[in-house]
Amino acid sequence: MTLAAPAFTAGTDLLQTGLVLADKTEPEVIAWRRHIHQHPELSYQETETAKYIADALRAMPGITVETGIARTGIKAVLKGGKPGPVVALRADMDALPVEERNDLPFRSQAKATWRGEQVSVSHACGHDTHVAMLLGAAQAFSAMREELPGTIVFLFQPAEEWGPDKEPSGAKAMIAQGVLVNPKVDVVFGQHIGAGAPSGTIAYLAGPAMASGDRFEISLHGNGGHGGRPWTANSALVPAAELALALQGITSSKVDQSDGVTVLSLGMLQSGRRPNILPENAELAGTVRSLSSRNQRIVHEAIRARAEHIAQAYGLNSKVDIYTGYEVVDNDKPLTGKLIPAWQAAAGAGKAVELPAPSTGSEDFGAYGVSGKVPSVFWFINASPYGDKSGAPNHSPEFAIDESALRVGVRALVASALTYMGGQ
């Protein structure tokens, strides 16, 4: 579908034109979302999703498409008919190894292999909507390209859910392959949907808005033995339990939370297979999230120290790996202030509200500002299916959204880009 742009006359407000065109994309945005929702793909496996996106973009006049970036990522460029800045808009494409539990007619029933295990797959974090809303914005901008004062770069990113690992997640991988140059990007904008309330509102926060995200893995190794003769063994199980408790005490005893909220969560403790066999190995893993780089460093040092101390006390060998990679999502403060009118225009007067505090969740969007060194702003679309009452959180099997809020997300992308372009 190609949109026809309203006739431009002297005095026509470019922002209002953009919002009108954004609204016209709503039926296709919902159709795109439902298709992607029904066919989810895991991190760095988004081949069919990328093909579907690329086909949609190639049908939009004026947009050039580059595929295969960071395996499955897409960079599309629309050069406006008038000179101006370069604005990048980003959406993530990947799904999660979560079984969807609802009665939607387009509910995901997909399966895939994740790290050697067969898993159910679903868009339990809403990335299907992120893609659809960015496609809607692309279609609106395509229709007004002759009057567009600048260039729009559309980034469809893989592997946001990859997590901190030996291999970087999608944002860093895309940056490393040059998506912020040629043309050189001046700002990057992004958004995230959730089942917050009231549906159809926008939430924002200047400065640090989401925490950094790190993953740690600890292995302990001793000697196994028989449950009836523990003195002949040196099992790793009990020391692992002691270490688990010691790790939980780090943020209460070592961290100044006034410097930036910091959370350590232990998500895995594995040791042993039978009650009468004393296991020689134990593995622990968890995450560290922080709004302070200083606290982040302190926690990393404390994890290593406590693991090594407890291992030595029990005569065990230990190995600690800490994978960093999700920087703080730090919204450029002056730029955030300039975009507030755009969000009010997108959602309606009084429907763009400031968050009371940063989130301890993590998002690799922070890499565009930190690693990419480009001013960036990230905001949130509330889309509870229950209207004024919040729904299930992101990553839940019951996660669901109100599709009527997608219209607000498309308007927010369009309004933010046009507001920035108009202010240069």
- DSSP assignment of 89-115 equals EEEE---BS----S--TT---EEEEET
For the CA atoms of the chain, what is the radius of gyration? 24
Domain that holds residue 249: 212-326
- Tell me if 259 is assigned to some domain: yes
- Tell me if 9 is assigned to some domain: no
Answer yes or no: is 37 a known binding residue. no
The residues annotated as belonging to the active site are 326, 403
Of the three residues 326, 344, 362, the one that is the final residue of a domain is: 326
Helix (H) or strand (E) holding 253: helix 250-253
Summarised one tens digit per residue, pLDDT across range 15-30 is 999 999 999 999 999 9
Helix (H) or strand (E) holding 221: strand 207-221
Summarised one tens digit per residue, pLDDT across range 146-195 is 999 999 999 999 999 998 888 999 999 999 999 999 999 999 999 999 99
Of the three residues 308, 326, 344, the one that is the final residue of a domain is: 326
Q: Does pLDDT of 5 surpass 60? A: no
Answer yes or no: is 161 a known binding residue. yes
For the chain, what is the largest distance between any 2 Cα atoms, rounded to a whole number of angstroms? 90
367: which residues sit within 8 A by CB, 6+ positions away?
A: 169, 171, 172, 175, 325, 326, 327
Q: Does pLDDT of 73 surpass 90? A: yes
Report the pLDDT value the prediction gives residue 2, as an integer from 0 to 100: 55
> Could you tell me which of 365, 384, 383, 385 has the C-alpha nearest to residue 375?
365
- Tell me if 78 is assigned to some domain: yes
Answer yes or no: is 127 a known binding residue. yes
Q: What would the DSSP string read from start to end of 277-313?
A: EE-SEEEEEEEEEES-HHHHHHHHHHHHHHHHHHHHH
202: which residues sit within 8 A by CB, 6+ positions away?
A: 343, 346, 347, 351, 352, 353, 379, 380, 381, 382, 408, 412
Summarised one tens digit per residue, pLDDT across range 259-313 is 999 999 999 999 999 999 999 999 999 999 999 889 999 999 999 999 999 999 9
Answer yes or no: is 221 a known binding residue. no
- Tell me if 82 is assigned to some domain: yes
Question: How many CB atoms are located within 10 Å of the residue 83 CB?
Answer: 10
Q: Does pLDDT of 103 surpass 60? A: yes
